[in-house]
Amino acid sequence: MPELQARWATDYERERWDELVAANPAAGDFRLSESLAVAKQTLGVRPRHLVFERGDEIASVALVLERRIPLTGRQWYIPRGPAVTTVADFAAHLDALRRFLRQARPGVFHVLMDPPVQATEGVDAEIAASASLTAPDIARRPGVHANNRTVIVPIDKDDDALLMAFNKKTRNMVRRAMKDSVEIKQFPATDETFSNLHRLMAMAGGGKDDLELRPREYVEALWRENVERGDGFFLGAEVNAQPAVMAFVSRCGTSGYYEHGGSDRELQSPGMANLLQYEAMRLLRDEGCTTYDMLGVAPSWAKSNDDHPAYAFGQFKLGFGPRVEYIGGWDLQVRQPQARLWLKIGERGYNKLYQLSSGDVSIY
């Protein structure tokens, strides 16, 4: 079998990028999509596109988010990548990336990766037995974002089977909203819709201060790009002509995502948010999706919002399906003196300055 190699994507491959992302071993993922690549540029990030191949056959593709760090070099973040599902494939992709960085010399000193390999039983032993993943230049860290733990709902089933897969409380809430004649409708991608969803996002969970919302310019760019490509839409329910609960959902290949959402506790009625999620799943299923990722729950040890800010949101999401956890982030030290200094103090200091200047929650 030919050795796995990494290279820059060609212009033709970039033109059909989302099609290649959808064919990844880990399936499609909006965090690798061209929509996200365009939106990230509003945050000062340069998107780059990598292809991993064996011989003439593409094994996977990866989106790289590049930042230039003063006096240090280029820092890379590969979200949800390499886009593989096994430890062995992650190790092979890591070795290919090492070779590429030595040969292409793009001036990179550090790479942060976030592979979608699930942390199932036996995975830690596989990692410990891998020479590639235990080499001196690589180290494991906690998940980069809250969606390192999530709920993924299989939605490739009929309406009744989909509803019956939820837990009893969630099923009852969906039925309650149906009985109360709650209407879930789609909203156009207008400034008014954007403002309404921003307002409801800020009110989620009672409007707490630790919601860590990304800048409006970035979020709205992501919404626009998804909608213009036919990959996203807004859903919600109104009370007295005012949105009480809303969500933005998207798809990439056969994967659906609950990207953003919020609600007004004073307006929403029982089961309204549950019915919205059920309708989102049905609509995405009808567009060809087989899974629905609800993007972020608290760790299993958390028992309240005091333990973890995503606890309450997570309890709502866990009513639709089980928790899924991944193996976390990985730091590749390409130029070790600079990378070690970055990981010791540079990343934290740069991130703090970035937060103060941009209003964003993280450089990643």
For the chain, which residues make up each domain, given as ranges? 4-143+327-358, 149-324
Is the fold of 4-143+327-358 the same as that of 149-324? yes
E strand residue ranges, the chain? 4-8, 46-54, 57-69, 73-78, 108-113, 138-141, 149-154, 185-187, 232-239, 242-252, 255-263, 291-293, 323-325, 329-333
Q: List the chain pLDDT tens, one digit each, 364 residues.
A: 889 999 999 999 999 999 999 999 999 999 999 999 999 999 999 999 999 999 999 999 999 999 999 999 999 999 999 999 999 999 999 999 999 999 999 999 999 999 999 999 999 999 999 999 999 999 999 999 888 999 999 999 999 999 999 999 999 999 999 999 999 999 999 999 999 999 999 998 666 656 789 999 999 999 999 999 999 999 999 999 999 999 999 999 999 999 999 999 999 999 999 999 999 999 999 999 999 999 999 888 988 888 888 888 899 999 999 999 999 999 999 999 999 999 999 999 999 999 999 999 999 9
CATH of 149-324, one of 3.40.50.300, 3.40.630.30, 3.40.47.10, 3.30.1480.10: 3.40.630.30
CATH 3.40.630.30 fits 4-143+327-358, yes or no: yes
Q: Which token pair is 153?
A: 């709902």
Closest CA to 65 of 102, 93, 32: 32
Task: Provide the whole-model pTM.
Answer: 0.95
Mode of pairing for the β-strands spanning 4-8 and 185-187: unpaired
Distance CA 303, CA 116 (A): 26
